[in-house]
Chain A
């Protein structure tokens, strides 16, 4: 049984500087989005005590081959990569098409895990789009997963309620950040990551034509935050002001 985890390469958000409200990406190391790491951790937990195999699936530019070592160190058994420098700024629909094409080349896939949103754009579309393209059931906003034979029992956390859902496998599941705390890989696991099996394909190998982009980014600006400079003289007053600002007691 293969558990596939889709993971996206992003710049290390902690190291991005903002200059004139624009993010500066020069020299920023690449990493994998936080919620994607939760998805991988969920796979590692599901694998425990079974003979499941975890495949990390990623599409992006050539750097992904190096970046993906992070996932291989954190518990993925192998990597399946679709790499092309054109994919650097590809939009969600294009990435979903590519990931679905990659998935179709794999056998015995029972579960496809996504983070609920990527660490950079957080559009949260790719999981649903892949499910649609593959004609598979999908559950989003998942906070617990339990697999029994051919069925996964999952908790879907909505704003006001939690639903417990049973879904037949294979299925696509998008997890929430709170589902677990990803483990920190050891030095030895990091050093072994590069030696794990890796399949690297190009766009031609999956016979996909990206087509023209349909989304144009007009601007990408950091929000401006201004201090309100409200001085309080007591805790009661602080609570009152914060409540008035709708920051607590919602």
Chain B
């Protein structure tokens, strides 16, 4: 067993940290207040190839795998989970095109997306269904060599950025869920105002409306009726992103708690001298180390999938556990701060709000546990 990184991975981790500290950290509070990521940050991340780490260089990616993606994501999301959310949802959608797209689709949609010139969306949730995508009501009606798409999608990350959106709809002839690649802002594509959410500000969450959007049949992702397996498979990879973004939040909370414990004084000594503070810090460290190695392992597993069903289980249990632990970690970090931790002037206030979001993304906690138990018990 070997728990070390390659030199390249170490450098990519350090690069992401340096970029995040120099360019994202200083504006993180502004992002939180304005719910908007400055365009220069998206450009900068694109120049560093952070939108295409796991994908093959044949399609414009860096070809460095998910294990490396985890390391970079942790550092970026430690500065702003809104930025982490953008990369995570983008990589989920792009991963679906990478895994199920044909050669033409990959050549057409991947290079610009890997460079961050296009930001990808992945749309399955609807006003009527999230946890059970088989209940999707969006429709795809065949008309000659085209499909006419109609439907409303809810809570779609990155819907306001140009680029492809992987859109799931029921193909009317077969009655089965099918994935389509649609270009955002094509005729008939419209979006809502961004949702005002609890945390992960800057990560744009919008509703998407498709009204008689005409796409050529060649835009079907995979085959007709393959939508549900594509969704399950892609979301398993998506959970690598959600877990690493959450891990970044945990790292930030850990660092803030340690810093505050050493700086804040009571009775002329830092609160770090008090046993209660020590216990909080130790518990944070235990939880952080546990989720860190679980997430790094998930990155490794994503690069070495032998059985997709086992991988789906590992992705679900990692995502669920990590997202539960980070809420605890942030709560402990707030405890170290006392009431100051509830104030906007302190980073942990934002981290706690961000942390709570993770539990609902890409499948709520209960659904993750259903996947895990389903695979273990075989029923």
Contacts and interface: CB of A to CB of B under 8 A. Distances in A.
Interface stretch (B4-12, B154-162, B246-254): B4-12
Given A29-B10, A66-B7, A187 B57 contact: no
A190 B57 contact: no
Interface stretch (B43-51, B192-200, B201-209, B353-361): B43-51
Interface in A64-93: 66-67, 69-70, 73
A191 interface: yes
Contacts of B49: 186-188
B11 A73 contact: yes
B57 to A, nearest CB: 7
A193 B7 CA distance: 10
A187 B62 contact: yes
A187 B19 contact: no
Given A69-B7, A184-B48, A190 B19 contact: no
Interface centre among A70, A191, A229 (most CB of B within 10 A): A191
Chain B, interface residues (CB within 8 Å), range? 20 to 34
B8 A194 contact: yes
A229 B270 CA distance: 13
Contacts of B63: 191
Contacts of B47: 186
A178 interface: no
B301 interface: no
Interface residues of A, number: 17
Contacts of A66: 7
B172 interface: no
A3 to B, nearest CB: 22
A204 to B, nearest CB: 26
A229 B14 CA distance: 36
Nearest to B72: A187
Interface of B: 7-8, 10-12, 14-15, 18-19, 22, 47-50, 53, 57, 62-64, 68, 72, 268
A187 B64 contact: yes
B362 to A, nearest CB: 24
A66 to B, nearest CB: 5
B111 to A, nearest CB: 13
B48 A186 contact: yes
B7 A187 contact: no
Given A191-B62, A191-B64, A184 B15 contact: yes
Contact of A190 (B8, B22, B268): B8
A185 interface: yes
B5 to A, nearest CB: 9
A66 B7 CA distance: 7
A187 B10 contact: no
A130 to B, nearest CB: 27
A229 B269 CA distance: 11
Interface in A203-228: none
Given A187-B72, A188-B57, A190-B15, 12 more contacts: A29-B14, A31-B14, A67-B7, A70-B11, A184-B19, A185-B15, A185-B48, A186-B15, A188-B62, A193-B11, A194-B8, A229-B268
A100 to B, nearest CB: 28
Contact of A191 (B8, B18, B268): B8
Contacts of A186: 15, 47-49, 62
Interface in A10-56: 29, 31
B151 to A, nearest CB: 36
B272 to A, nearest CB: 14
A187 B53 contact: yes
A10 to B, nearest CB: 14
Nearest to B49: A187
A58 B177 CA distance: 59
Nearest to B268: A229
A174 to B, nearest CB: 24
Given A191-B63, A191-B64, A185 B11 contact: yes
Give 7 closest A-B pairs by Cβ, nearest first: A187-B49, A187-B62, A186-B48, A66-B7, A186-B49, A190-B11, A188-B49
6 contacts: A186-B49, A186-B62, A187-B50, A188-B49, A191-B64, A194-B8
